[in-house]
Amino acid sequence: MMLDQRNLPDMLLTLDGERIETADRWLQRRRPEILDLFREHVYGRETVGRPSTLEFDTKVTPNMLGGIAVRKQVDIRYEGAGGTGKIRLLMFLPDNGQEPCPAFLLLNNRGAAHMDPEQQAPSPFWPAEQIVARGYAAVVLDVEDADPDFHDGFRNGVHGIFDPSTGERPANAWGTIAAWAWSASRAMDYLETDPDIDAARVAVVGHSRGGKAALWAGAVDERFALVVSNNSGCTGAALSRGKKGETIRNINDQFPHWFNGTYKTYNDREEHLPVDQHMLLSLIAPRPLYVASATNDEWADPRSEFQSLVHATAAYRLFGCKDLTEMNFPHPEEPLLRERMGYHLRSGEHDLKPYDWDRFMDFADQNI
């Protein structure tokens, strides 16, 4: 397949003109530079990392999911100058007495109905029993615990707790997607303390806006061993230049709180951005990365998601990983699995389905 160039920024060329040719130079020079460009121009700069006040309250319930799982409910608590906050973590772990297990952490952007602690009406969006049966811990959090998904001038959620309360908000201040990624890192802080979890084998997963947050979480927090983007579209996995469906202007107009103020200056000016989304995907290298699309999801633009992954291969090649550039855009239900990179196109609509989860776990079986 010929690469669709779209006049993309050269991700292997530093701002001062150095051509990156080795993994060491990528890690020392270009990766930090790209990460900083995304903070400055797109997702924003966080005002807090791990809070010094972070606390975990855990409740354990055995014999769940018909006896195959242990349930853990964790309240992740923190406080700052603007008040206190809590992220609720729900987990089902295989109850087989074996060694610590790997985990899938879902950044749930669809509300409490998809993270029922009793699992009376299991959700295909987060099929906990299916995940546990494959030997993984099923872990989920509601992203709106960290920051509600509406624009109130950044007074609610973690912005209200940790951002300065006086003065004008900087154009490069973090938005809601960055806050949701921050919540994933706080979940990882807990998972590192849980003796039943293999913290070196934790995958972060997100769908749609949750997929945007999962990619940014994987970029800023290298503790995640695998990053999975499902139907993440504009300012997620999909290239912005030449994209069909949702554009930067569309997303900034409809969701002005998701990204930083600077990003709005690129409405209808995608070609002026110093980055594009293949560079976001490249920040995951050399860790495993999986991107998934759906045939009817034209707003997200599956071909732009796939092309972004193919272009990100340039970073993975520095680490000796096999090339994706000769791969054609696949037919539905024909996954492309390469060393540390995977992609599939699922038939159907913009959603997260059991088929998607099975492919993610197939990829994880081989890569983490």
**Catalytic annotation, residues:** 208, 350
What is the CB neighbour count within 10 angstroms for residue 226?
24
3-state secondary structure of 104: strand
Whether the CB-CB separation of 12 and 19 falls below 8 Å is answered with yes
In this structure, which amino acid lies at residue 209? R
Q: Please state the separation of Cα 276 from the chain's center in Å.
A: 16
Cα separation of the two ends of the chain = 28
Q: Phi/psi at 355 (nearest 5 deg)?
A: -55, -45
Separation in Å, CA 136 to CA 68, 69, 132, 211, 254: 12, 10, 5, 20, 36
Phi, psi of 91 (to 5 degrees): -135, 140
User: Residue 155 and residue 238: Cα distance in Å, rounded?
Assistant: 30
Task: Tell whether the torsion through CA atoms of 34, 37, 41 and 47 is positive or negative.
Answer: positive
* 3-state class (DSSP) for residue 294: strand
* Region label for 135, one of left (φ > 0), alpha (ψ between -120 and 50) or beta (otherwise): left
State the Rg of the chain over Cα: 20
Longest dimension (CA), the chain: 59
DSSP annotation of 55 reads E
Torsion 347-106-222-182 (CA) sign? positive
Question: What residue has token string 């690469």?
Answer: 3
CA 312 distance to own-chain centroid: 16
